[in-house]
């Protein structure tokens, strides 16, 4: 055997031995480093396969992860972004975004950006939202109430909504009221942000989601405080001209 052949044979044997040692001892290979990578969808999983994070383009954006399965969400197919997934493999929030220019030449994305955090086995309790449509824009911070999953989790509620959608209008209204009476419906409690008419506003609501106080500064600088009754009518308004 020539010296070159002997050298190559020795290198092959050494590499084979290193691979065997790695497999037998569980030693980790050094991480692969990239300067740049193009990818349509990126899944982060635990060693047991549990999905923990998804970063995706619009075409491959998933539905809602649920205990190793996926609940279809066709309403998300126009978004790209990421989803957070908890230890159970259930969605726990995410960042979704889209943006386009419509036929009018103005931003016509509808919902442009939404960052959300969900209650355990429930829907969003905190949301940062920016929306533009038809040349108008608004930016909001929203805080919501979500019931405990022990009463009804978000999947059970979605399944119930599917059943209610098949009912006639009177039955549908009764079924929705029954859900509200049981305390299994979400309710917005705080909304802070700018409006489409360029005002800034803070809305405070009761546990049923009924707005009870509005603090507003209009685009032209007029401040006011409105206190509302349970039917949404202004019971008292305080402004600069209020005696």
Rounded to a whole number, what is the largest CA-CA distance in the chain?
107
| pLDDT band for position 104 (cuts 50, 70, 90) | confident
Of the candidates 69, 184, 63, 188, the residue with the CA atom closest to the CA atom of residue 125:
188
| pLDDT band for position 106 (cuts 50, 70, 90) | confident
- pLDDT at position 23 is 54
Would you say the C-alpha torsion 174, 75, 83, 204 has a positive or negative sign?
Answer: negative
Helix (H) / strand (E) element for 199: namely: none
More confident position, 110 or 49:
49
Strand partners, 44: 53
pLDDT value at 242 more than 50: yes
Entry field: residues in the chain = 243
Strand partners, 84: 53, 93
* CB-side neighbour CA atoms (13 Å) of 100: 8
- pLDDT at position 77 is 87
Of the candidates 146, 147, 88, 94, the residue with the CA atom closest to the CA atom of residue 117:
94
More confident position, 29 or 220:
220
Q: Average pLDDT over the chain, rounded to whole?
A: 89
pLDDT value at 6 more than 80: no
pLDDT value at 162 more than 70: yes
Residue 132 to residue 120: CA distance in whole angstroms: 30
pLDDT value at 25 more than 90: no
Mean pLDDT of 148-157: 97
Mean pLDDT of 64-83: 93
pTM: 0.83
Question: Tokens at residue 83, please?
Answer: 């989803």
Residue the block writes with tokens 């290193």: 18
Residue 220 to residue 72: CA distance in whole angstroms: 45
Task: Find the range with the poorest average confidence among 3-7, 23-27, 73-77, 193-197.
Answer: 3-7
SS3 49: coil
């Amino acid at each position: 055997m020539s010296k070159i052949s002997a050298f190559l044979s020795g290198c092959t044997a050494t590499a084979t031995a290193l691979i065997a040692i790695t497999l037998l001892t569980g030693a980790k290979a050094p991480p692969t480093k990239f300067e740049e990578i193009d990818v349509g969808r990126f899944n982060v999983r635990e060693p047991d396969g549990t999905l923990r994070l998804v970063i995706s383009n619009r075409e491959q954006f998933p539905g809602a992860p649920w205990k190793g399965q996926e609940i279809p969400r066709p309403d998300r197919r126009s978004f790209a972004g990421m989803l957070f997934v908890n230890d159970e493999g259930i969605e726990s929030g995410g960042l979704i975004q889209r943006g386009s220019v419509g036929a009018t030449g103005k931003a016509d994305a509808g919902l442009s950006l939404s960052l959300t955090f969900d209650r355990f086995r429930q829907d969003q309790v905190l949301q940062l939202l920016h929306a533009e449509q038809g040349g108008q824009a608004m930016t909001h911070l929203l805080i919501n109430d979500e019931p405990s999953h022990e009463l009804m989790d978000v999947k059970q509620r979605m399944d119930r909504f599917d059943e209610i959608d098949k009912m006639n209008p009177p039955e549908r209204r009764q079924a929705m009221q029954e859900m509200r009476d049981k305390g299994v419906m979400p309710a917005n409690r705080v909304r802070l942000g700018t409006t489409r008419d360029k005002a800034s506003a803070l809305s405070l609501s009761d546990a049923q989601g009924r707005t009870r106080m509005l603090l507003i500064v209009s685009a032209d600088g007029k401040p006011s405080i409105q206190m509302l009754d349970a039917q949404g009518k202004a019971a008292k308004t305080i402004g600069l001209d209020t005696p």
